[in-house]
Amino acid sequence: MIDIVLLGATGYTGRLCASYMAQVLPGNVSWAIAGRSKSKLQVLHRELQLEEPKCAVYALDLASDEAISELVKTCRVIVNTIGPYATTCGTAVIRACAENGTGYVDCSGEPAWMRGIIAQYDTIACKSGSRIIMTAGWAAVPADLSVYLAALKLQRHFSLPTREVLVCLEDVRGSFSGGSLSSLCSLEPVNMAPFDLSPVPRTKQQAAKTGVLPPPNAFDVQIVDEVGVLVESTHAQIEEAVVGRSWNQTP
């Protein structure tokens, strides 16, 4: 059994992941690069100076549920970098992982699709022991971890609950990958409340609490003392939804 399969390894994000994994994975961890084109996978395999059997190559028909299921059965964890997830093989891969007890990680940021996946496969994954982790990327991880660590410190050091957390990004470099742009263009209009992905809604008392920071003005500009002038992130809705789900999942 292979430890990790990187699906979509020859795409922009997939190549970054493959390069990083080649550098940091210990020798006792087996992995594979997988995708549609065997020739492209073999080129990447040579470029990164990968060697079998530590890193294998799997080419498969991503339109075939049977082929995806067979791949999932060969490994412990699938890392899926093929987007847009709602319109490619995202649902099929998660379904196969949930049914077979295989771990799953992706870097999606498609809230409507995620909501449907949770509703359809959460119970199945719980029964099989599969751990499904969506949006393990730029769209939500910085906000999710920042909020978690801030809340943890308040609780451990001061025995205080968390009323509100403001996550700010001062500078960012780089741009969208092709897959990210395709995902943005394919997204259906959706309004998500901060706790839409959480299976447990907030109590009336929790929902009634208001923040202590000044709200955005009519131009969606927020001015906070000691921080400055802020505008809402393009990822704000998915960030808040993921943080809201983490709030429910945190022990």
What is the full DSSP assignment across 67-135? HHHHHHTTEEEEEE--S-TTTTTHHHHHHHHHHHT-EEEE----HHHHHHHHHHHHHHHHHHT--EE--
Q: E strands, the chain, where? A: 2-7, 31-35, 55-59, 75-80, 103-106, 132-133, 221-224, 228-231
Quote the CA–CA distance of 187 and 180 in Å, as a whole number: 11
Distance CA 151, CA 160 (A): 8
Q: Say what the pLDDT of residue 244 is.
A: 86
199-223 pLDDT, tens per residue? Answer: 777 766 666 666 778 888 888 898 8
Q: Which amino acid belongs to residue 48?
A: L
Ordered domains of the chain (ranges, CATH): 2-133 (3.40.50.720), 141-207+235-249 (no CATH)
75 class by beta-carbon count within 10 Å (0-12 exposed, 13-18 middle, 19+ buried):
buried
What letter would DSSP give residue 11? S
Distance of CA 65 to the CA centre of its chain: 22
Over its length of 251 residues, how does the chain's per-residue pLDDT go in tens digits? 999 999 999 999 999 999 999 999 999 999 999 999 999 999 999 999 999 889 999 999 999 999 999 999 999 999 999 999 999 999 999 999 999 999 999 999 888 899 999 999 999 999 999 999 999 988 889 999 999 999 999 999 999 988 888 888 887 776 656 555 555 555 555 566 677 787 777 766 666 666 778 888 888 898 898 888 998 887 788 888 888 888 877 65
